Amino acid sequence: MMEKAREILLRIVREPGFEEGTHWRRRAFETDEVIVREGDVAQRMYLIEQGQLRVMGQVALDDQRKIKPGLADLGPGDLFGEMTLFEKHPRTATVTAIEPGRLLEIDCVALSGYLDAHPETGYLLLKALFQVLMERLSKANERLEHLFAWGLKAHGIDKHLR
Task: Count Cβ atoms within 10 A of the Cβ of residue 160 and give its class: 0-12 exposed, 13-18 middle, 19 or more buried.
Answer: exposed
Mean pLDDT of 73-83: 92
Task: Report pLDDT for 137.
Answer: 79
Summarised one tens digit per residue, pLDDT across range 133-152 is 888 778 877 877 877 777 77
> Which residues are CB-contacts of 85 (< 8 A; sequence separation ≥ 6)?
43, 45, 108, 111, 112, 129
With H, G, I as helix, E, B as strand and everything else as coil, classify residue 103.
strand
- Local confidence band at 109 (pLDDT 50, 70, 90 cut-offs): very high
- Tens digit of pLDDT for each residue in 32-72? 999 999 999 989 999 999 999 999 876 656 667 655 556 78
Q: What is the DSSP letter of 78?
A: -
| C-alpha closest to that of 85 among 19, 120, 118, 129 | 129
Q: What are phi and psi for residue 41, nearest 5 degrees?
A: -115, 120
Q: What is the pTM of this model?
A: 0.80
- Contact by Cβ (8 Å): 16, 73: no
Domain ranges of the chain: 2-160
**CATH for 2-160 (3.40.720.10, 2.60.120.10, 3.40.109.10, 3.40.50.300):** 2.60.120.10
Complete DSSP assignment for 40-55: -EE-EEEEEEES-EEE
Task: Identify the bridge partners of residue 74 per DSSP, sorted by sequence position.
Answer: 53
- Degrees to nearest 5, angle at CA 68 with 24 and 40: 35
